[in-house]
Amino acid sequence: MIPVASPQAAADATRGLLGRMIDGHRVDRVYVEQMIPIATELFLSFTFDGDGPCVMLCARGGVEIETIVATSPDSLVERSIDPRRGLESWHALDLWFEAGVRGRALRELASVTSRLYQVFRSGDAEMLEVNPLAIDADGRVLVVGAMVGLDANAFARHPEWPAVTAADANPRERRVAEIDASVPGGECRYVELDGDIGLLVGGGGAGLYQHDRLVAIGARPANHCVTPPTGTDSRKLKAVIEAILDNPRVRALLVGFNFAQMARADIRVRSLLEVLGEKRIDTARLPIVIRLFGAGEAEARAAVAGHPSVHYMTREASLDDAVRLTAALARSPTIGVGS
């Protein structure tokens, strides 16, 4: 925030900002608004707990909010909201009163709070925080600083939302995020880490479990990922496989899925073989452990037969068996794509 005293100063400051990089983001727009002499700073947030939406508010807001809440937790008023009724202005008024607000501002504060809940609700936000929510010298209520987190599950009904990728994503992560946004079907994600074992997993519980077990036996995954169930379109799955295999640190690959798969095993394995072929990766240098059962399993096993260093686990093998074998293979000194 840059305070300026004249339109000319605002123009100068804007010119200085445009094109600059701040925290990895290029500035291509600048928001100019009226300086407001704030009389009172308040805090308001809408979020979800395990049951549903809830509101938190405090008669003291601003940059010190965390300290205020930590030192006097009683000053924070928290309430769950019945999603069928919403937050009416008279509910909000009682909450602000409980938080200690008195006088003329209450009426408008209650109305703004109720309307902000509407924004939270109809905008499919999973979080909406206004800090500070300000009252100026004339008693007007103003939304000065606000932060919104959107619910990714609601993207389909908000064509107005822009696609966003993490500012610190590397090219491989960004590529997967782009495919995820542009190709229909289930979600795909790829997060790169500092280890050397590529992890091709579904992304649910089994992915978390195998990652934990690798770490527990001293191995380090090179990534975590989420892959969608295979349908007719395997572009998302292939994007994740490409990212994993493009990571120069990867020394071994674990393809680990739960025992009971709806998705076809052969589609997953063929996608893997296609990417290996396109990238001309010698599987003799990249051990691959596959624990993948269910429909299409016989075809999948046949497809990898003859590929050196591809270890297709038997149906008796547990997730831990696959994890242990992968970790052992990654320790072998003679392997590595880049070596």
Partner 1 sequence: MQGITGGQAQVDTERALRYGACIVAGVTPGRGGERVHEVPVFDSVAQAAAATRVDATVIYAPPLAVRDAALEAIDAAVPLLVVMAEGVPLHDVALIVRAARETGVLLVGCNTNGIISPGKSRIGGIGGVDPSEIYVPGRIGICSRSGGMAAELALTLKRSGLGVSTCVSMGGDRITGLRMADYARMFEADEGTEAIVVFGEPGTDNEQELAGAVSRREVTKPVVALVAGAFQERYPAGRSFGHAAALIQSAADTASAKRKALEAAGARVAEALEDIPRLLAVAGVAVPTAIQSRREGETDASPA
Supply 185's token pair. Answer: 């079907």
3-state secondary structure at position 124: coil
Pick the closer one to partner 1 by CB: 62 or 221: 221
Answer for which of 257, 264, 273, 337 binds partner 1 (CB under 8 A) is 257
Query: Toward partner 1, which CB reaches closer, 139 or 203?
Result: 203
Distance CA 200, CA 176 (A): 13
Contact (Cβ atoms closer than 8 angstroms) between residue 323 and residue 210: yes
182 part of the interface to partner 1, by CB under 8 A: no
Is residue 187 close enough to count as binding partner 1 by CB under 8 A?
Answer: yes
297 contacts partner 1 (rule: CB under 8 A): no
Report strand pairing: 223-226 vs 197-201. Answer: unpaired
Which CB atom, from 100 or from 204, has the smaller least distance to partner 1? 204
Site for partner 1 in 40-99 (CB under 8 A): 48, 50-53, 82-84
Which residues sit opposite 201 in a β-bridge? 256
By CB under 8 A, name the one of 202, 242, 250, 255 that touches partner 1: 202
* CB-facing half-sphere around the CA of 34: CA atoms within 13 A: 6
- Reading the block at residue 337, the tokens are 């794509």
Closer to partner 1 at the Cβ: 141 or 267? 267
| Per-residue CA distances from 143 to 110, 196, 259 (Å) | 13, 47, 52
Query: Which strands form 288-291's sheet, in the order they lie side by side?
Result: 197-201, 252-256, 288-291
Among residues 273, 224, 255, the alpha carbon closest in space to that of 329 is found at 255
Q: Is 50 exposed, middle or buried (0-12, 13-18, 19+ CB in 10 A)?
A: exposed
90, two tokens: 């008279």
Q: How many residues bind partner 1 (CB under 8 A)?
A: 67
Q: Is 126 in the site for partner 1 (CB under 8 A)?
A: yes
Paired with 58 in beta bridges are 43, 76
Which residues 127-156 are close enough to bind partner 1 by CB under 8 A? 151-154, 156
Among 88, 212, 233, 282, binds partner 1 (CB under 8 A): 212
Among 178, 274, 297, 321, contact with partner 1 (rule: CB under 8 A): 321
Question: Which region, judged by CB under 8 A, interacts with partner 1, from 136-144, 177-185, 187-195, 241-249?
Answer: 187-195
CB 135 within 8 A of CB 141: yes
- Contact between residue 249 and residue 170 where contact means Cβ atoms under 8 Å apart: no
Q: Which amino acid is at 46?
A: F
Q: How far apart are CA 198 and CA 232, in angstroms?
A: 25
Q: Single out the segment in contact with partner 1 by CB under 8 A; choices: 21-29, 96-104, 267-275, 327-335.
A: 327-335
Of the candidates 295, 297, 299, 336, which one interacts with partner 1 according to CB under 8 A?
295
Per CB under 8 A, the list member of 260, 273, 292, 302 interacting with partner 1 is: 260
Site for partner 1 in 7-46 (CB under 8 A): none
Among 121, 174, 235, 249, binds partner 1 (CB under 8 A): 121
* 258: contact with partner 1 by CB under 8 A: yes
Measured CA to CA, the distance from residue 84 to residue 103 in angstroms comes to 30
Shortest Å distance, C-beta 118 to partner 1 = 12
The site for partner 1 (CB under 8 A) is made up of 48, 50-53, 82-84, 121, 124, 126, 151-154, 156-157, 186-187, 189, 191, 193, 202-209, 211-213, 215-216, 221, 224, 226, 257-262, 284, 287, 289, 294-295, 308-309, 311-314, 316-322, 324-325, 328-329, 332
